Chain A
Amino acid sequence: MSGASIASGRDLRASPRNDDPVVSPDVTAASMTDRICAIALREQAPLWWWIAFVPSLVLALLLVASIGYLFYAGIGIWGIDWPVMWGFAILSYVWWIAIASGGTIISALFFLVRADWRDSINRIAESMMLFGAAAAGIYPILHLGRPWLFYWLFFYPNTMTLWAQFRSPLLWDFWALLTYVLASVLFWYFGLIPDLASVRDRATSETKRRIYGVLACGFRGSNRQWKHLRASYAVMAAIMAPVVVSIHSIVGLDFAGAATPGWHSTEFPPFFVFGALLSGFAIVLLLVILLRRSLNLEDLMTGRHFDVLCKLLLTSSLCVAYAYLMDIFTTFYGGDRAERVMFLERLFGSYKDVYWGALIFNCLVPQLLWSRRLRVHQPTIVLICLGVVVGMWLERYEIVVTSLHRPHLPSAWGNYHGTFWDWSTLLGTVGLFLCGILLSLRYVPIVSMHEMRSLIAERRAVASGAGPHE
């Protein structure tokens, strides 16, 4: 039994295995709580944290500068122009919201199906969801051109007696994004409350005790507080799972609702959800691999986590491959000449590297994960996941740009390339995301301690052949 192999002294750090237990049998509720709280309460951040944080902060400042210049000069500083009127802003928005969505799926959907491997990584997934949604949420406002008028998307009584166009997926998207961002923040914070209380109770300085005390809102673990928390959290998870499917389906409908070649397809909503799963699993895997080593969490994030997440990544890669195949099938089966012209241009035209890159990184390379050995081989997983992250961005580029650059009328054909400000904004959002993740690593319990305590108790009860009580 794998648990015995660890108890007998096998080094989890050196060689994670597919059949590792989900948590090392040596871990107790007390030791786990002390370690996770110590990470949040340490006085000095380790060197690696600063090495990661400083460049991330520089990139985040680049975002501020890029937005400042955009507001000063207007969206003419970007590469968008007729016919490609959706460029980096939209494709990066879709890319980020996909990353965030993957985090929600892990946190919410796998909570509902009681997946035991979720408990030690759901906080990482939720942090990814939060900062991915923040990075995504910036773009639509910037893309409006006149961002100060964004409130026109709300429906409100106005002197022009105008109402919004409720039948447009673009308006649905506004509400879906608003709901998703707000609901993500609430869901993340709600699950964090008991852990903030744990940190409060371990804080050694009065200042930290007060800060975490206020954030924990007086949670003390009373039966009343647990009862309502458990019930409310379960319903929130049950809500978040369909919300994440809805937001990415609606993002897909933003495209499918237009008559543009390459977009006008009923497969777009599930296609986009598949992509969200793929990129979300890839980023979670990257974070888990980096954090378990840098924070010495090898006994909480084991080979079992790699195995499960890699299987999920492989499954979502197959789903994406199916969507790519259906894209080809519907294009050529449909018989629309403009669709065929656009698609052949996508395969062999000036953006062919983008298409083939997406295909290779999203569909072909992840097939390596059929190998049981490679599913726990960390360098391979890192390379595959980095490939998927790049591949998913290329896929969004392919969908947005190559479709728009070959519209129905040949007289309207044209090319597109991102400018310096497009790239600086994209890199800036990467900096924003990384800053958020690093700050949450520094100050927020990075493992859901109260859920881990339940898992540890369950494992111990099973190991000792006892009932659910310790």
Chain B
Amino acid sequence: MNSLLAGFASEQALGVALDRLRAAGLSNLETYTPRPLSHGLPLAEAGASAVPVLMFVAGMLGFAGFFLLMVYADTRAYPLDVGGRPDFAWPAFVPIAFEIGVLCAMVTGFFGYFVVCRMPHLYDPIDGCEHFSEASRDGWFVALRALEVESMSEARRVLRGLGPSSLEEFTG
């Protein structure tokens, strides 16, 4: 057993626990909560997500790529004279380029999320903790993984002092 999972009854109690653990020099913390942590809590704003950036890049590439493809098709590969209208009818290319750009962004966002979060991750040792299922209901948990022996005892001491609703050990 080298990891700890402590459960708290409220987000506020979890916030206090995170502050104390960090003050004790324990920084490898992971929270498991029924909803996103409120702004202002430790870990709530731990860096910006890369997924929106990936979505933006994919969307722009999709837009530009298919816009250029349409320009190539209509001006070089297969110019089509419809009522004398210009081959390079760029406003008419925008709707399809927009839709494909959107599709690229959505698909990237969806799969990018799984890549960034390393999902699917169907089994984790933490699932064996008795009270862990409360994390998807109204339980607020903090996990400290792969602790050294001294850190383990220090973490246990700090957490016990906070009166957690559950404190479990697991190997992970």
Contact = CB atoms under 8 A, between A and B. Distances in A.
Interface of A: 28-30, 33-34, 155, 161-167, 169, 171-172, 175-176, 178-179, 182-183, 186-187, 189-190, 194, 197-198, 200-202, 213-214, 217-232, 234-236, 239, 242-243, 246, 250, 450-451, 453-454, 457, 468-470
Interface stretch (B19-27, B130-138, B158-166): B130-138
B51 A235 contact: yes
A34 B134 CA distance: 11
Given A161-B78, A230-B36, A236 B109 contact: yes
Contacts of A172: 95-96, 99
B137 A33 contact: yes
Pairs of residues from A and B, 6 with the lowest C-beta to C-beta distance, nearest first: A218-B121, A231-B49, A201-B133, A217-B120, A163-B73, A167-B92
A289 to B, nearest CB: 28
Contact of A235 (B36, B52, B124): B52
Interface of B: 10-12, 15, 30-41, 43-44, 46-52, 55-56, 59, 69-70, 73-74, 77-78, 80, 82, 85, 89, 92-93, 95-96, 98-100, 102-103, 105-107, 109-110, 112-114, 116-117, 119-124, 126-127, 132-133, 135-138
Given A161-B78, A468-B38, A228 B116 contact: yes
A214 B122 contact: yes
A460 to B, nearest CB: 11
A33 B33 CA distance: 13
A166 B73 contact: yes
Given A172-B95, A229-B36, 15 more contacts: A161-B78, A165-B80, A165-B82, A167-B89, A186-B107, A186-B110, A214-B120, A217-B119, A218-B124, A221-B33, A228-B50, A230-B36, A230-B49, A231-B52, A232-B49
Contacts of A236: 55, 106, 109
Nearest to A235: B52
Given A163-B73, A183-B106, A226 B37 contact: yes
A227 B40 CA distance: 14
A319 B82 CA distance: 35
B101 to A, nearest CB: 9
Best-buried of A155, A171, A198, A226 by chain B (most CB within 10 Å): A226
B6 to A, nearest CB: 15
Contact of B96 (A166, A214, A221): A166
B49 A227 contact: yes
B137 A231 contact: no
Contacts of B43: 223
A231 B48 contact: yes
Nearest to B37: A223
17 contacts: A33-B34, A161-B78, A167-B82, A179-B99, A183-B102, A183-B106, A190-B109, A201-B136, A221-B34, A223-B33, A232-B110, A234-B52, A239-B106, A246-B95, A453-B34, A453-B138, A454-B35
Nearest to A180: B99
Which secondary structure dominates where chain A touches chain B?
helix
Given A166-B74, A228-B49, A468-B40, A217 B114 contact: yes
A231 B92 CA distance: 32
B77 to A, nearest CB: 6
B120 A218 contact: yes
Contacts of A243: 99, 102
Best-buried of A29, A166, A176 by chain B (most CB within 10 Å): A166
Given A166-B96, A235-B52, A202 B10 contact: no
Best-buried of B44, B49, B56 by chain A (most CB within 10 Å): B49
Contact of B51 (A178, A189, A228): A228
Contacts of A33: 34, 136-138
Best-buried of B74, B89, B109 by chain A (most CB within 10 Å): B109
B171 to A, nearest CB: 17
A226 B33 contact: yes
A190 B55 contact: no
B58 to A, nearest CB: 11
Nearest to A210: B122
Contacts of B105: 235, 239
A450 to B, nearest CB: 5
